[in-house]
Amino acid sequence: MIYFDNAATSRTKPEVVYEAYNFYLREIGTSPGRGSYTLAIQASRMLYQARKNIASFFNIADPSNVIFTKNSTEAINLFFYGFLKQDSHVLISPYEHNAVLRPLQNLKNNGIIDYTVLPEDVIYNSSLLKNYVRSNTKVIALTLASNLTGQIVFSSQLAEEAKKYGITVFVDSSQGAGKKLVDIDRDKVDFLAFTGHKDLYAVPGVGGLVGRESFRINPLIQGGTGIHGESYVNPDAYPDSYEAGTLNMPAIWSLKTSIEYIEKNINEIISKENFLTDYFISKLSQISNVIIYNLNKKRVSTFSFNVIGIKSSDVVSFLSKKDICVRGGIHCAIKAHETINTVKTGAVRVSLNYLNTIQEIDTFISAVKELTECI
């Protein structure tokens, strides 16, 4: 089987990640902050250690600014619902995923906020931003990389420009978190959401919201926090107040371990992925009737294409029969499809990671050639 759907989830994790998950589950198995016996205290220490590693990975000084959620979608919802006040205005890139678009549209439908989708040229020319800033613009939300085209959307220039207007910079790093494309401290990013199971190579079930500085927003979920059980609402204790309910500690421990793996291997991972992506695109772009979208943008190891005259879902089915896994249709990012004009056709997305090979790419290229020759 050839797996080119890494933007959905990285299917194969480093062996140390599986081991870390199983170690926590079988050998520790308790919840942090839920007792004072030895194993419960050890759980709390491991939670702190995980926060520390993740803070360091994103270059955040204080580990208590790392909030664990079940995935990036929850983290993004926590941020928007918790941070935005009545009559706020939000700017978003045209490449935002539904995890960003839908909470904002819901807040808009409820008469709480308004938002503006920036046109693509603003992404690459930050001086144009001023034309979209309103007196009540509170947040700019930028995906680190597009889940559709793979292009890198966040830039420190854009963040810097937004800062001039006192706008809070929020980055959705669901795509690209593992590539060290953003330095929260250097780039003055205020908040960043991440998910564990994609290019951070953790098991599913853990993500988070991190803040450059300590922050106080409304929790998304109210409930047991282990500490201050006597308080009638989540206590004024952070980050615990944002993490009501039992944490998925084995997954958090897998994330701590996967981040150590990435830190150790980042150069090899990135150079392999860049090499494979360049090779793939150069081969695919030589096939006639193939359109690759936003070909010349700086990107992560993801891109989308279509074969003229064939529906994206038919391309996916054809490839699936050859045991090649890619995704077609609409990729949970309707604004991105509007931007690259593929709302009607959908698009075939290819997303690689460092475990893919040249041989797999060659097999894919042959399959697409075979398909185009049938037209």
Name the one range near a copy of itself by CB under 8 A: 37-45, 120-128, 136-144, 287-295: 37-45
Which CB, 277 or 312, lies closer to a copy of itself?
Answer: 312
> What tokens does 8 get?
């959905």
Residues numbered 176-215 forming contacts with a copy of itself, rule: CB under 8 A: 195, 197, 203-206
Of 342, 324, 343, the residue nearest 284 (C-alpha): 324
Residue 59 CB, nearest approach to a copy of itself (Å): 26
Q: Which residues contact 166 (CB under 8 A, 6 or more apart)?
A: none
Q: Is 339 in the site for a copy of itself (CB under 8 A)?
A: no
Q: Between residues 204 and 369, which has the closer beta carbon with respect to a copy of itself?
A: 204
DSSP structural state of residue 66: E
Q: Which of residues 40-59 bind a copy of itself (CB under 8 A)?
A: 40
- Considering the complex, state which of residue 77 and residue 159 has its C-beta at the smaller distance from a copy of itself: 77
- DSSP for residue 24: I
304 touches a copy of itself by CB under 8 A: no
Report how far residue 54's alpha carbon sits from residue 32's, in angstroms, rounded to the nearest whole number: 17
CA distance 331 to 333: 5
Q: Does 12 bind a copy of itself (CB under 8 A)?
A: yes
**Residues in 58-77 that interact with a copy of itself by CB under 8 A:** 70-74, 76-77
Number of residues that bind a copy of itself (CB under 8 A): 84
CB of 9 to a copy of itself, least distance (A): 5
Helical segments of the chain, H only: 15-23, 38-57, 72-83, 98-109, 120-124, 156-164, 249-284, 312-321, 334-339, 358-374
Q: Is 334 in the site for a copy of itself (CB under 8 A)?
A: yes
Kindly tell me which of 172 and 273 has the beta carbon lying closer to a copy of itself: 172
HSE-up (13 A, CA, CB side) for residue 95 = 27
Q: In the complex with a copy of itself, which residue's Cβ is closer, 63 or 346?
A: 346
